[in-house]
């Protein structure tokens, strides 16, 4: 999916969604969700090539595999949470959006705990 | 399938809104509601597997 296709799809979807602003509002939201997902598929295909390069670089330099995997997981969690919360905000329910964002933040926090422990253990090893 | 999904949903939306207007003016309120419900279910049938595919790809990509 090239940039031009994504831009054209977004503009067409926005205009079509405007059409339903009057009486059938929910179809406008369905169209924007569908267009968001079409562009999201394009983003994921681009992202997969970037992630392959990142994994390759990670294998070159002396970095522990699990830290890189955790970083990628955090990226995935934030992206999914952002996508879902913005869709909820589009549909008008703010509480759901905030709930999903909070869940995403906590999920990232949980993921980073082992790294924090490893850091503190290293610092402790230095001090004692 | 991907871009045509947007236009299919738009077509269903236009069809349902026209149909419900016609039914409303001819006095059949319930049929109007039923057609909009049918349109909603049709759109959901298209979109839900698409959402599942998206999150499945995301899961495999980030090895979540």
Q: Convert the pLDDT of each residue in B14-47 to its tens digit.
A: 999 999 999 999 988 899 999 999 999 999 999 9
Task: Answer yes or no: do A34 and B47 touch at CB < 8 A.
Answer: yes
pLDDT of residue A60: 85
- What is the domain range of residue B23? 1-63
Q: Which of A9, A40, A79 shows the shortest C-beta gap to B6?
A: A9
Percentage of residues in chain A having pLDDT higher than 70: 100
Give how far B15 is from chain A: nearest CA, Å.
Answer: 11
Task: Answer yes or no: do B9 and A31 touch at CB < 8 A.
Answer: yes
- Are the C-beta atoms of residues A23 and B24 closer than 8 Å to each other? no
Q: Do residues A78 and A96 both lie within one domain?
A: yes
- What is the domain range of residue A55? 48-128
pLDDT at A107 over 90: yes
Task: Answer yes or no: do A40 and B3 touch at CB < 8 A.
Answer: no
As for how many domains chain A has, the answer is 2
Q: Do residues A53 and A106 both lie within one domain?
A: yes
What does the buried/exposed string (b/e) look like for B7-22 if buried means 16 or more CB atoms within 10 Å of the residue's CB?
A: ebbbebbbebbebbee
pLDDT at A74 over 90: yes
What are residue A103's phi and psi, to 5 degrees?
-60, -40
What is the rounded distance in angstroms from the CA atom of residue B64 to the CA atom of residue B1? 27
Q: Do residues A34 and A65 both lie within one domain?
A: no
What is the rounded distance in angstroms from the CA atom of residue A57 to the CA atom of residue A66? 14
As for how many domains chain B has, the answer is 1
Task: Answer yes or no: do A24 and B17 touch at CB < 8 A.
Answer: yes
- Are the C-beta atoms of residues A73 and A111 closer than 8 Å to each other? yes
For A26-41, what is each residue's pLDDT tens digit? 889 999 999 999 999 9
Percentage of residues in chain A having pLDDT higher than 90: 60
Give how far B28 is from chain A: nearest CA, Å.
Answer: 18
Average pLDDT of span A10-24: 87
- Are the C-beta atoms of residues A74 and A115 closer than 8 Å to each other? no
For residue A46, the chain B residue with the least C-alpha distance is B61
Q: Do residues A76 and A31 both lie within one domain?
A: no
Q: Do residues A60 and A107 both lie within one domain?
A: yes
A66 CA to centre of own chain: 20
Task: Answer yes or no: do B6 and A69 touch at CB < 8 A.
Answer: no
Task: Answer yes or no: do B9 and A23 touch at CB < 8 A.
Answer: no
Average pLDDT for chain A? 90
Longest dimension (CA), chain A: 71
End-to-end CA distance of chain B: give it in Å, rounded.
Answer: 27
Q: Which residues of B touch A4 (CB under 8 A)?
A: none
Q: Do residues A36 and A61 both lie within one domain?
A: no
């Amino acid at each position: 999916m090239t940039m031009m296709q994504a831009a054209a799809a977004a503009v067409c979807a926005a205009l079509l969604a405007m059409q339903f602003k009057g009486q059938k509002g929910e179809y406008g939201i369905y169209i924007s969700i569908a267009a968001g997902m079409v562009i999201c598929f394009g983003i994921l295909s681009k992202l997969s090539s970037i992630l392959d390069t990142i994994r390759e670089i990670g294998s070159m330099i002396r970095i522990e595999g699990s830290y890189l995997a955790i970083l990628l997981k955090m990226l995935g969690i934030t992206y999914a949470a952002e996508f879902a919360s913005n869709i909820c905000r589009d549909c008008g329910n703010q509480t759901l959006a905030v709930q999903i964002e909070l869940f995403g933040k906590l999920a990232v926090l949980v993921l980073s705990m082992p790294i924090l422990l490893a850091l503190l253990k290293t610092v402790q090893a230095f001090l004692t | 399938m991907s871009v045509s999904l947007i236009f299919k949903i738009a077509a269903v939306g236009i069809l349902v809104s026209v149909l419900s207007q016609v039914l409303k003016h001819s006095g059949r309120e319930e049929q109007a509601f039923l057609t909009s419900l049918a349109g909603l279910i049709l759109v959901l049938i298209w979109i839900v597997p698409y959402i599942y595919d998206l999150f499945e790809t995301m899961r495999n990509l980030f090895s979540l």
